[in-house]
Amino acid sequence: MRIYLIGFMGSGKSVLGEKIAAAMKVYFADLDKKIEKQEGKTVTEIFQRKGENYFRKAEAEVLRKTKRNTDAVIATGGGTPCFHDNMKWMNENGITIYLSAKSAELYHRLISDRENRPLISSLSDIALLEFIMGTLGRREKYYKLAHVTLNAKTTTAKQVVEAIKKAMKRKK
């Protein structure tokens, strides 16, 4: 079964995803890393040289290739569910788990990691908080379509594995 971790940047999808995959003894993939490998450029370089629209198309293409992985945990980018019917596709081809976090929590996680994130790299502290609040507000309608919603701040890998097992029973 494919497990898609979704949520805003900084919600812990990649870190938690590795732990979940290890606990379940399945393949782990970070969608951004797969895009970088396909494109031969970092996500930041893709955004700078080719723009967000190009990135989102490449992202959708790489996402659909994850169907080849029958048992995997896939950490998606924060915007992945919001473009090219990706959320619908993930729900049809796996179990989606939304790692939900409040704006203030995301701000504290992202403030020191801006340079590695092209959408926020040039934002001031105030602009960063405004960006998080506005973007999260627009994206949540997609995130809330997930099969499972868990609190990013308090959820452990063990709790996610239990939630996955329950979701798999419901989906059968």
pLDDT averaged over 10-residue windows placed end to end, the chain, 172 residues: 97 96 97 97 93 96 96 97 98 97 96 88 96 98 98 95 90 72
Is 53 a domain residue? yes
Is 41 a domain residue? yes
Nearest Cα to Cα of residue 155 among 116, 97, 108, 110: 97
Pairing of strands 95-100, 148-151: parallel
Is 171 a domain residue? no
Is 165 a domain residue? no
Provide the residue range defining the domain that includes 70: 2-159
pTM: 0.96
Count up the domains in the chain and report the number: 1
Is 142 a domain residue? yes
Predicted pLDDT of residue 170: 84
d(CA 165, CA 167): 5
Is 168 a domain residue? no
Report the amino acid identity of residue 42: T
Predicted pLDDT of residue 172: 67
Is 170 a domain residue? no
Predicted pLDDT of residue 37: 97
Tokens 């473009």 locate to: 83
Q: Which residues contact 163 (CB under 8 A, 6 or more apart)?
A: 97, 148, 150
Residue 76 belongs to domain with CATH number:
3.40.50.300
Report the amino acid identity of residue 117: R
